Amino acid sequence: MASILRPALVIFGALSLLCGLLYPAAVTGIGHVAFAHEANGSLVAVDGRTAGSILIGQPFSSPGYFWGRPSATAPLADNAAGSGGSNLGPTNPAFLAAVKERVAALKRADPGNRAPIPVDLVTASASGVDPEISVAAADYQAARVAAVRKLPERQVRALIEQYRRDPALGFLGEPRVNVLALNLALDGKTPRAQ
């Protein structure tokens, strides 16, 4: 028995040390050297204060800001520690009720907007913390944001275009806009929205 148990414990200890300590420490160290900004959460600072992360969605509810995708994380919206989708199917009554409420909230915030509402403004992403919206979703909100900020709509649309990111490698994904970056750029143009 000892002849079998001893090599198994040695291998267990060696693999635990290698895979549980050395490898994670090496990867973390390389990440901090090669990708320091990303390894530290891609935090964005404004006036010496952390405004958020460019990689994790944040809730914006003021009509003077662009709104991101709804979040299905619990117990709070955009909770990176509880990342995950709702897992409700498209015919689930709870899902349909949530979508209807989100559509109603968008219409209340911008009653004059008759454009079709982009799907990413009323459905949560798989992670629940998506930091980006489609260009269509940003365009849908441009008139509302411009009116509240008292900016020409063309200036707000120019900001959307300035912060637009094209698909990776030209074909992976769709054109998108980072909500935090866009809202911080708006704050640079006018006082912060309430």
Local structure of 52: helix, strand or coil: strand
* Strands lying side by side in the sheet with 132-134: 132-134, 176-178, 164-165
89 and 171 in a single domain? The answer is yes
Q: What is the mean pLDDT of residues 8-22?
A: 95
Judge whether residue 77 has pLDDT over 90.
no
Tokens of 140: 């849908």
137 and 168 in a single domain? The answer is yes
21 and 97 in a single domain? The answer is no
**The dihedral sign for the CA sequence 144, 190, 38, 77:** negative
pLDDT in tens, 86-117: 788 889 999 899 999 999 999 999 999 999 99
20 and 78 in a single domain? The answer is no
Confidence bin at 72 (pLDDT 50/70/90): confident
Q: Which of 40, 55, 70 delimits the end of a domain?
A: 40
175 and 106 in a single domain? The answer is yes
27 and 64 in a single domain? The answer is no
> 127 or 64, which is more confident?
64
Per the prediction, the chain carries an average pLDDT of 90
83 and 132 in a single domain? The answer is yes
135 and 47 in a single domain? The answer is yes
Please indicate, yes or no, if residue 194 is contained in any of the structural domains. no
Q: What pLDDT is recorded for position 146?
A: 95
Counted domains in the chain: 2
pLDDT in tens, 120-139: 999 988 888 889 999 999 99
154 and 60 in a single domain? The answer is yes
Looking only at the bridges linking them, the beta strands covering 132-134 and 164-165 are unpaired
Please indicate, yes or no, if residue 137 is contained in any of the structural domains. yes
Select from 193, 172, 169 the least CA-distant residue to 183.
Answer: 193
Judge whether residue 160 has pLDDT over 60.
yes
Domain span at 61 = 43-189
Judge whether residue 158 has pLDDT over 90.
yes
Select from 170, 131, 109 the least CA-distant residue to 53.
Answer: 131
173 and 131 in a single domain? The answer is yes
75 and 93 in a single domain? The answer is yes
| Predicted model pTM | 0.80
Please indicate, yes or no, if residue 135 is contained in any of the structural domains. yes
32 and 51 in a single domain? The answer is no
